[in-house]
Structure formats: structure tokens, C-alpha cells
Chain A
Amino acid sequence: MKNMHATQAVRGLLYKEWIKLRYLGLVPFALLLVGLGDSFYDMHGMKSANGGLSLWNAVIFRSHMPFEPMRYLPLFSGVWLAAVQFVPECFNRRLRLFFHLPVNEHKALFLILGLGAGLLSALVGILCLAQACITSLFMPAEAARLSILTLAPWCLAGFIAYAATALILIETSPVRRLWHGGAGTVFVLALVDARGYGSHIDGLPWFGLIAALWFATISNVLDRAKRGSS
């Protein structure tokens, strides 16, 4: 009986997320398509106009990144998805509706976060895979691998931005909101501001750990929001 209730509750929560994300959740994917198209035509154009040597020259000696417009895409997507999911939950005391649902609020929160992070994972997965394919059309496999390693910190920035935005929206104290926003900005800028191919590769596991900590913190903030939501 308990399992049946839990299954139904999960369906209910997924249904609500579907309503929130069904249209607005597509925006980052639409931007991804545009970005990938731009990357393809950049490399294709350079090779067609000036030959393969010119493309190699730009990439190796001038650190030209055909996928440069994608630098801020995971970051924007993280903020966007968190806002789409949590703004309708958190404003005008609506968090109380969430707290009154007959489900464990922490499990429900991680279901919502899991869904958002899953969508973001799908987006960065497509981004890395498609960019590697595009690069390998014009350059050897090593260059494709390097493009993925270059994209990785930007993708990680997207997850930190997602968690930080969720945290800011759930948080009830303005001072703490500022703190979360400031700390999130520092980490995200450190990751997306990297110049050149393969930056931050050595530090990626640490940044990954930081991203996980951001997610873990949300549970505590939810507790505080519940105890003090007035």
C-alpha cells in the first residue's frame, strides 16, 4: 500500500514537472541546435574558403574555438531550468503547497532536482557528443577529444549554476540569497572564463565535488525554509 502511494506520488510530481518544462524546457535545446549549427558552419566555412591548413592554423596557433558561442550555453541552461522549475514553487508562499503534499519533502525535492539535472545532463551530453562529431568531420580524433575536454568545465558550470539558482529561489533569507549568489558566481566564472583548449582539466574533479556539495546543501535550506516559512 505504501509503495502504491509512493509510486502515485512520484507520478504526480513528475506530472507537475512535465507541465512546467514541456515548453520552456525546450528553450536550451533550441539554443543548442543554433550553437551547433554555428560551430559547423564556422569550421566548414573556414575550410571551404581557405583550406584545411587555415583551419589548423586558427585552432593550433590562435586557439580559435569554433564552439566559442557555446561557452555560456550550459550556464544559461542551468539558470533557466532551475528558474522554470522553482519560480512557480517558491514565490507567493507557494512552497507551502509543496510542504503540505503527503510526501517526504526531501525525496520530492531530489526528484525535482534529479529531473532538472537529468535534462541538463542530456543537454551537455548532446553538446559534447555533437561537437566531437562536428570537430572530427574536419580534424583528427585527438582534436575532437580536446574539444570535449574544453567543453567539460563549461558544462560543470551549468550544474553549479542550476544548483545555485535552485538554492537562491528556495532560500527565504535575503542575506543568505546574496551569499549563495555570490559564491555561485565565483565558481561559475572560474569555470567559464577559462581561455584556451583544455583549461581546468586537472581541477575538474574538485569542481565536480563542489557541484555535488551545492546539491547537498539544498536539502538543508529546504528544512530551514520549512521551519521558518511565514
Chain B
Amino acid sequence: MATLVECDQLRHSYAGKQVLDGLSFQVRKGGIYGLLGKNGAGKTTTINILMGFLEPSGGRCRVLGDPSHRLRPETRRKIGLLHEGFTQHDFMTIAELEKFYRHFYPHWRPEVFTQLVQKLQVPASRRLSRLSFGQRSQVCLGLVMAQLPELMILDDYSMGLDAGYRRLLLDYLHAYAQEHGTTILLTSHVVQDLERLMDHMFIIQNGRLLYSAERGRFFESFRQWRFQRSPQSDRLEKTDVLTSVEHIGKHSIVCSFHDEAQVRQALLQKDAALEDWQEIPLGFEDAFLNLTGKY
């Protein structure tokens, strides 16, 4: 399977602060990839490097075979980019935006744009600056979809959107990816909607890849247990086996990628009494937060 995006040991810093610290990942053709992380994890810097808006201070990044900081126009034509905050030309109307962008993309599909925008029930003569944030997101997504890109990159698609518009956007994306086989790489710090959508996820933290897995593998391998809190359990710290340790009320909660027997053994070695031991099912957001930390 062809590799569309290849980042190898990416490094970048702003004013002495290391934002990316050896980040490596690959996006292969087909499927929806999520680049997830909390605020400040390095997601936007990664996208900026991918799109050639920043030259990394170290490492290598190739997009559709081109070095990311020297993307040729032919390569850019194959990449649909949804900019963070739905940045677009505000001075144009919906119709003018469609007419403008169609000149640059030979496979432009006006009906894809029209179908999406018609649902907004606003006239095509309305300026983008006069649309709500949610409506604007639909127009911007329509412009990217109509390009029929080989690779679609959505930078923090969820920013500023309420739950309804987030769901709408993801439903369209899902259907579109299935119909056209487009590879999608998206970033978001709102993860609860992504569980059903993503085929593969990269979780980054402090500029490094923390975890990478296919859909389903995350839940198979990452589990959570709860037991009675005690002075011994209060002294527990994160280890290779215990990915997260938390104490809430009368309970201590641990998460791990290891199996139950290994976790119990690790806890017993620390003299923790495992009274009232039980496994707690993990939702995607809980799992994400337990992995990356709440603070």
C-alpha cells in the first residue's frame, strides 16, 4: 500500500521551546487517520510542516513523495486542505468561492459542493463573512470535497463547532471517504466524536508519538480497573505496566496496556490491597484522557 505521508524524526522549536521532538508516523493510502493530542501537543505544528508552511528544524517529512517544504503545484493539486478555524476568503460569496476554486482543480465536482451547501438554506449570493461558524464550516468542507483530492487534511476541524455541526461534518466525511476512497488525515482535540470514524489513530504528546493503533486495537489492549483506595495505593506511580494511576473518592483507578494478571501482579508488588477489584469499561474519551493525562 502506497505511503502518502511519511514523517521521520521531525523536530521543531519556537523560541527555544521544543514543540516537536522526534515525531515519526506514516499515513498509507486509504482510510481515515486521526492525529490526536491535547492542546499544545504539536498537532498544528505538524500540519504546518506537512503543508509546507514551516520548514522543520530536523527530521524528514514527505507528502505524496515531495519534501513537505517544497510541495510542487501538481502535488498541492492532489491535497485538499481544510485550514484551522475554517480560514477562507471572507470577501467572496458562496457562489464566487465555488467559481474561484474550480479553476484550479481539473477533477472539480460542483455537485458535491452544491449538495452540501444547499442544506444550509442560505442563498449562494451570501458572503462568507455573513455566515455563522457552523455554516462556514460546511462551505469550507464543500470546497475541499469538490476538489476530489487524493489526500484530505483537516486541521482541527472541530474548533468552534457545536455537537450538531461536528456530527454533520463527520457524517459527510465518512460517506465521502467511503464513496471516493479518499485518504483523510485529521487533527482534533475533541476526541469523543472520532471513535466511529477513524481507521487509525496517532496520539501525540509533547511532540512525540505516544501511541499508534488501528481502530479497535486501542480498546482491546487499553483497559481500566478500579479497587478500594488505601494508603499503599495512594503511593502508586506510573510505571511501564501502569499507564495511568488516579485516585477519586474511595477508589484508586489504574489503566494499562498489559493484561489483568500482569497489572494485579504489579500492584501487589507495591503492597496495594486489591479489595473490590473490578474492570471499568472505557469510553474513547476516557481512554484518551487516561493515556494523555488530564492536566
Contacts from A to B (Cβ < 8 Å): 5, 8-9, 11-13, 15-16, 19-20, 88, 92-94, 96-97, 99-104, 226-230
Contacts and interface: CB of A to CB of B under 8 A. Distances in A.
B288 to A, nearest CB: 26
B244 to A, nearest CB: 32
B83 A227 contact: no
Nearest to A4: B106
B210 interface: no
A96 B140 CA distance: 14
A98 B261 CA distance: 56
B85 to A, nearest CB: 8
A94 B103 contact: no
A105 to B, nearest CB: 9
A13 B99 CA distance: 11
Nearest first, the 5 closest Cβ-Cβ pairs linking A and B are A12-B103, A102-B77, A102-B73, A102-B76, A8-B103
A230 B104 contact: no
Contact of A100 (B51, B54, B91): B51
Interface in B68-84: 69, 73-74, 76-77, 79, 81, 83-84
Contacts of A228: 54
Given A19-B91, A97-B89, A5 B106 contact: yes
B240 to A, nearest CB: 36
Chain B interface size, as a band, is: 20 to 34
Nearest to A95: B53
A17 to B, nearest CB: 10
Q: Is the interface of A mostly helix, strand, loop or mixed?
A: helix
B73 to A, nearest CB: 4
Interface of B: 14, 45, 48, 51-55, 69, 73-74, 76-77, 79, 81, 83-85, 87-92, 96, 99-106
Contacts of B88: 94, 97
Contacts of B105: 102
Given A92-B87, A102-B73, A226 B52 contact: yes
Contacts, number: 78
6 contacts: A88-B89, A93-B87, A94-B87, A96-B53, A97-B83, A103-B104
B118 to A, nearest CB: 22
Nearest to A2: B74
A16 B89 contact: yes
Nearest to A107: B73
A20 B91 contact: yes
B250 to A, nearest CB: 47
A104 B99 CA distance: 20
A159 B135 CA distance: 40
A124 B92 CA distance: 29
B106 A101 contact: no
Nearest to A91: B90
A94 to B, nearest CB: 6
Given A97-B89, A101-B76, A230-B53, A12 B83 contact: no
A96 B100 CA distance: 16
A141 B230 CA distance: 104
Contact of B89 (A94, A100, A103): A94
B92 A100 contact: no
B225 to A, nearest CB: 42
B106 A100 contact: no
Nearest to A104: B73
A103 B53 contact: no
Given A8-B104, A102-B74, A103-B104, 6 more contacts: A9-B103, A12-B100, A12-B104, A97-B88, A102-B73, A102-B77
Nearest to A94: B87
Contacts of A13: 103
Contacts of B91: 19-20, 88
Nearest to B83: A96
A88 B69 contact: no
A88 B106 contact: no
